């Protein structure tokens, strides 16, 4: 995993473990056009080094200037960037955008280190949390997120709730040229990528740094708990022994996206097969994207992979295909 917010937490942990105080920033809200949405993170230390992004560059420079000037010595500061026309022009915020940022100045003590470790585990998929920060007293806590829906950030009079969950996981059910292209696209997007394939001949020659390769049937991996709510399961082999079994197990999970490659005719035949012999209901079939991906007129493996990953990103952000 190397998505930007996970990098922020990794660096925050490293600095705190080394005894450095840090400034931990979270975008609370955006108005107008903004490159990053609520929940986006940035961490900085006193020498001006930072990891993460609040706006794509312009706000970061202003924040660092203010940090060096000592503007954020309070435990918690709420700062709005681009709130005036003059500042919006100075920061070059697109379309007059405005950002509200929570800036926490934290000492490298044991409670803060433990808190960061819990947040990092949540990004790895072990837990889904609500992080609460008292903007007046500076206190913080994390609890299990029992709802896992709604806005990423909820602002109240004296507190802010920030929902933190796992980074998107792409589970590739079997290897193929399209699956390999999907793995590379997904890594560029910062997703966790897991490939399951029991066939030694299919795994031979496949190599991608940071991709976890599991030498077993995808259905076995899924049945053992390999999916969480931020998982996309895609089957791209054209081998029903792999693809169909993966679909049968995937619909029993919380995976937000389930898809399998094939023509419309192949997909219709698979749906009939899964209904008759796979034990799936029509509701289960309706969860499966088949044919998979956006209709981009794709022909090559890379083009098909692009259509698949674009559809996954669309679904992950809650956009309907009709809204595109």
* C-alpha–C-alpha distance, residues 292 and 155, integer Å: 38
Homologous superfamily, domain 169-323: NAD(P)-binding Rossmann-like Domain (3.40.50.720)
| Predicted pLDDT at 96 | 54
- Within 10 Å of residue 205's Cβ, how many Cβ atoms? 8
Task: Say if strands 50-52 and 288-289 run parallel, antiparallel, or are unpaired.
Answer: unpaired
| Predicted pLDDT at 34 | 60
What is the C-alpha end-to-end distance of the chain, expressed in Å? Answer: 28
* C-alpha–C-alpha distance, residues 307 and 30, integer Å: 29
Q: Order of strands, edge to edge, in the sheet holding 140-144?
A: 140-144, 129-134, 159-164, 153-155
| Predicted pLDDT at 217 | 96
| Predicted pLDDT at 216 | 95
Element (H, E) at 257: strand 257-260
| Predicted pLDDT at 146 | 76
Q: Tell me the CA distances in angstroms from 237 to 58, 115, 261, one per residue in order.
A: 44, 42, 7
| Predicted pLDDT at 190 | 85
pTM, to two decimals: 0.75
Per-domain boundaries in the chain: 4-164, 169-323
Task: Say if strands 129-134 and 140-144 run parallel, antiparallel, or are unpaired.
Answer: antiparallel
* pLDDT string in tens for the chain (324-residue length): 457 888 999 999 999 999 999 999 999 988 765 667 889 999 999 999 999 998 866 788 889 999 999 999 999 999 998 776 555 555 555 555 688 999 999 999 999 999 999 999 888 876 789 999 999 999 999 998 876 555 688 888 899 999 988 889 999 999 999 999 999 999 988 899 999 999 999 999 887 778 999 999 999 999 999 998 889 999 999 899 999 999 999 999 999 999 999 999 999 999 999 999 889 999 999 999 999 999 999 999 999 999 999 999 999 888 888 877
Residues 6+ apart with CB under 8 A from 54: 25, 27, 36, 40, 42, 60, 63, 81, 99, 101
| Predicted pLDDT at 5 | 87
129 by Cβ neighbours in 10 Å (0-12 / 13-18 / 19+) ranks as: buried
Is omega for the bond preceding 240 within 30 degrees of 0, making it cis? no
| Predicted pLDDT at 32 | 66
Residues 6+ apart with CB under 8 A from 48: 64, 67, 68
Phi and psi, residue 274, nearest 5°: -70, -30
| Predicted pLDDT at 165 | 83
| Predicted pLDDT at 314 | 94
Residue at token pair 């929940």: 39
Q: What is the pLDDT of residues 49-59, one digit of tens each?
A: 999 998 866 78
């Amino acid at each position: 995993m190397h998505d930007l917010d996970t990098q922020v937490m990794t660096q925050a942990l490293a600095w705190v473990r080394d005894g450095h105080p840090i400034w931990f920033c979270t975008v609370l809200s955006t108005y107008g056009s903004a490159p990053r949405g609520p929940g986006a993170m940035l961490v900085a230390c006193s020498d001006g080094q930072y990891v993460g992004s609040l706006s794509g560059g312009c706000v970061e420079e202003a924040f660092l200037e203010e940090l060096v000037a000592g503007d954020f010595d309070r435990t918690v500061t709420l700062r709005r960037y681009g709130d005036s026309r003059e500042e919006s022009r100075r920061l070059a915020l697109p379309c007059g955008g405005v950002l509200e940022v929570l800036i926490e100045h934290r000492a490298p003590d044991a409670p803060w280190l433990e808190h960061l470790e819990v947040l990092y585990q949540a990004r790895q998929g072990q837990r889904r949390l609500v992080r609460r920060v008292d903007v007046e007293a500076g206190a913080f806590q994390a609890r299990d997120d029992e709802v896992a829906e709604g806005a990423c950030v909820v602002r109240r009079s004296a507190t802010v709730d920030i929902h933190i969950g796992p980074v998107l996981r792409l589970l590739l059910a079997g290897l193929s040229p399209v699956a390999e292209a999907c793995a590379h696209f997904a890594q560029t997007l910062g997703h966790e990528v897991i490939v399951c394939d029991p066939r030694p001949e299919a795994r031979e020659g496949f190599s991608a740094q940071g991709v976890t390769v599991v030498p077993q049937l995808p259905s076995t991996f899924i049945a053992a708990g390999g999916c969480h709510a931020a998982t996309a399961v895609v089957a791209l082999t054209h081998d029903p022994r792999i693809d169909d079994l993966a679909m049968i197990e995937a619909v029993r999970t919380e995976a937000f996206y389930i898809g399998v490659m094939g023509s419309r005719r192949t997909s219709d035949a698979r749906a009939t097969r899964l209904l008759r012999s796979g034990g799936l209901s029509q509701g289960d079939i309706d969860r499966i994207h088949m044919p998979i991906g956006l209709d981009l007129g794709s022909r090559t493996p890379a083009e098909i992979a692009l259509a698949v990953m674009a559809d996954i990103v669309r679904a992950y952000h809650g956009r309907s295909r009709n809204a595109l």
